[in-house]
Structure 1
Amino acid sequence: MTSTPGHWLHVTEAGPADGERLPVLLVHGGCGSWQNWRAQLEFLGRNHRVLAPDLRGHGGSPWPGPSTVDEFYTDLQDLVRSELPERFAVIAHSFGGYLATRLAVDYPKRVQALALVNTAGHIPRGLAYRLLELFSDGASLMRQLRPSVISTESRVAKSILQKTLPGWDCWELYARLSVPTLVAVGGLDPLIPLELGRRTANAIARSRLEVVPAGGHVLMWQQPERLNGWLEELLESRRSA
């Protein structure tokens, strides 16, 4: 899949190519991949065309070197222009929520529904340092043990935490959102605390907050049936829009 000039993204696709339902774009978080969305690809793919790209340096997409949040975002913009020329929905996890929020703000007539899973307007600095410490030595090992969760090498993970995540700030963007938005958070999420999830929902005018009290940071595979139910409700509510 061609993306920015000289750069391409690996994209996994499911569902009917020309169905009547809204196409869905799934955006994983930092150090993840399309595999984070296996349960959603299978479930949503029954009725929707679903695209799940690997962000640059993740999964099957090449790593061009240290990248800013704007470069990650440009990749998604180019994918949308190429593959989703009309209306669509965006479902995103963690850092992917920042990218998805920008899409919804920049394309308000085309993004018809937004779901933000385990995400917030920023990542607390203390937690970012803890992640950097973990990934300095552990990302490659984690990638071998849990490839469905961690998909990056240590060098890529460190670069993302040092160069990319400092640009993650979308509190002002939330105030500009006009699209119906699901905010799904885990009560035991160690990276995005529950209070940040609540603050996120409160900052978005047309939001619906759902909390999984015992949920952690990856609700897509920790609580797939519950999350899929909420996603289906959101997408069904937009069928007549």
Structure 2
Amino acid sequence: MPLLEVDGAALTYDDEGPRDGAGVPLVFIHGWTANRHRWDHQVTHFAERRRVIRLDLRGHGDSGGAGVRTIEELAKDVLALLDHLKVERFVPVGHSMGGMISQTIALAHPERVERMVLVNSISRMTYSRGRGLLMAASTLVPFKLFVATNIQRAFAPGYPREEIREYVRSSADTPREVVMTLYGAMRAFDVLDRVGEIRTPTLLVHGYYDIQLPVKQMLRMAKSYPDAEVRILDAGHELPVEKPAELTAAIDRFVRTAQAGETTP
């Protein structure tokens, strides 16, 4: 379990798979209150034949550090890790907040992003006035209740309750400062008017029952992407664990298309 010190935080990461002749690395970036193990299914699959990198973001999982305030700061941590590993070009695969980080990188450093995969992610959080007030009010409840409510509603109906409770417990271990600050950072994140600048081929995979970041908001974003492919799966917000095999297959097809030099339909 290697560590990298970045601006006072020890970032935990995994770097697996072959280094040569297998395409550029895939870089898996988890979402809010999660950790790198959200990607276990995908990493196990891809590491057999290509380099795969994942990390626990600052203040999450096994990584230390707090004080992070913006999506841009998290993006800098990801790039610092890749610079350390001497990775120039890569394919970011970002879930939820991780997709916001991926878009931030693609806009700031387009030369480094070969392709991009956004899983249950959007470019701008847009809600009615009533929903916005409800979200703001939710921050006033006790911390563990706030986390539990947000994580429970992330899963589609029918997902095993005991597994959801495990994810709630794991999320509640994330420092309160990190959880609340990044909750605000996600609500403030807005690059919708700039996604037309992202020329790299992009796969948008979303859960039909996602009520955290509704699918209609993703479709609104998709219209602005010059080169986007959309896949909608029968799941909620937590696609990497709700539909791991289907998500892995969608990513696999997308990156294989790039290796074959074909144009994604």
- TM-score normalised over the length of structure 1: 0.88
SS at 1:146 equivalent: helix
1:114-165 CA-to-partner distances (Å, cap 9, x unmatched) read 0000011123452743763677223389797227973624443123223x22
- One-letter code of the match for 1:20? A
Larger CA deviation: 221-230 vs 71-80: 71-80
1:228 aligned to 2:231? no
Larger CA deviation: 132-141 vs 220-229: 132-141
**CA distance change for structure 1 residues 35 and 239 in 2, over 3 Å: closer, same or farther?**
same
SS at 2:114 equivalent: strand
Which residue number corresponds to residue 184 of structure 1?
Answer: 205
1:146 aligned to 2:167? yes
SS at 1:12 equivalent: strand
1:136 aligned to 2:136? no
- One-letter code of the match for 1:36? R
Name the CA distance, whole Å, in 1 between partners of 2:237 and 2:100.
16
| Structure with bigger gyration radius | 2
Which residue number corresponds to residue 117 of structure 2?
Answer: 115
**CA distance change for structure 1 residues 148 and 18 in 2, over 3 Å: closer, same or farther?**
farther
SS at 1:182 equivalent: strand
- One-letter code of the match for 2:47? G
**CA distance change for structure 1 residues 157 and 134 in 2, over 3 Å: closer, same or farther?**
farther
Percent same amino acid at aligned positions? 24
Structure 1 runs not aligned, ≥5 long:
none
Q: CA RMSD in A?
A: 2.6
**CA distance change for structure 1 residues 134 and 183 in 2, over 3 Å: closer, same or farther?**
farther
SS at 1:183 equivalent: strand
1:219 aligned to 2:239? yes
**CA distance change for structure 1 residues 211 and 135 in 2, over 3 Å: closer, same or farther?**
farther
Following TM superposition, by how much is the alpha carbon of 1:204 offset from its aligned partner in structure 2, in angstroms?
0.7
Which residue number corresponds to residue 161 of structure 2?
Answer: none
Which residue number corresponds to residue 13 of structure 2?
Answer: 11
- TM-score normalised over the length of structure 2: 0.80
1:45 aligned to 2:37? no
1:203-240 CA-to-partner distances (Å, cap 9, x unmatched) read 1110001111x310011111111111110111112215
Name the CA distance, whole Å, in 2 between partners of 1:80 and 1:27.
12
SS at 1:56 equivalent: coil
Contact 2:66 2:177 in 1 (8 A): no
**CA distance change for structure 1 residues 140 and 13 in 2, over 3 Å: closer, same or farther?**
farther
**CA distance change for structure 1 residues 211 and 159 in 2, over 3 Å: closer, same or farther?**
same
SS at 1:238 equivalent: helix
Contact 1:135 1:158 in 2 (8 A): no
Contact 1:11 1:52 in 2 (8 A): yes
SS at 1:175 equivalent: helix
Structure 2 runs not aligned, ≥5 long:
152-163
Following TM superposition, by how much is the alpha carbon of 1:82 offset from its aligned partner in structure 2, in angstroms?
1.8
Which residue number corresponds to residue 219 of structure 2?
Answer: 198
1:159 to 161, 165, 181: 181
- One-letter code of the match for 2:139? L
Contact 2:148 2:168 in 1 (8 A): no
Name the CA distance, whole Å, in 2 between partners of 1:234 and 1:65.
36
Name the CA distance, whole Å, in 1 between partners of 2:142 and 2:196.
33
Contact 1:25 1:91 in 2 (8 A): yes
Question: Hey, which bits of structure 1, 4+ residues long, moved more than 6 A?
Answer: 140-144
SS at 1:208 equivalent: strand
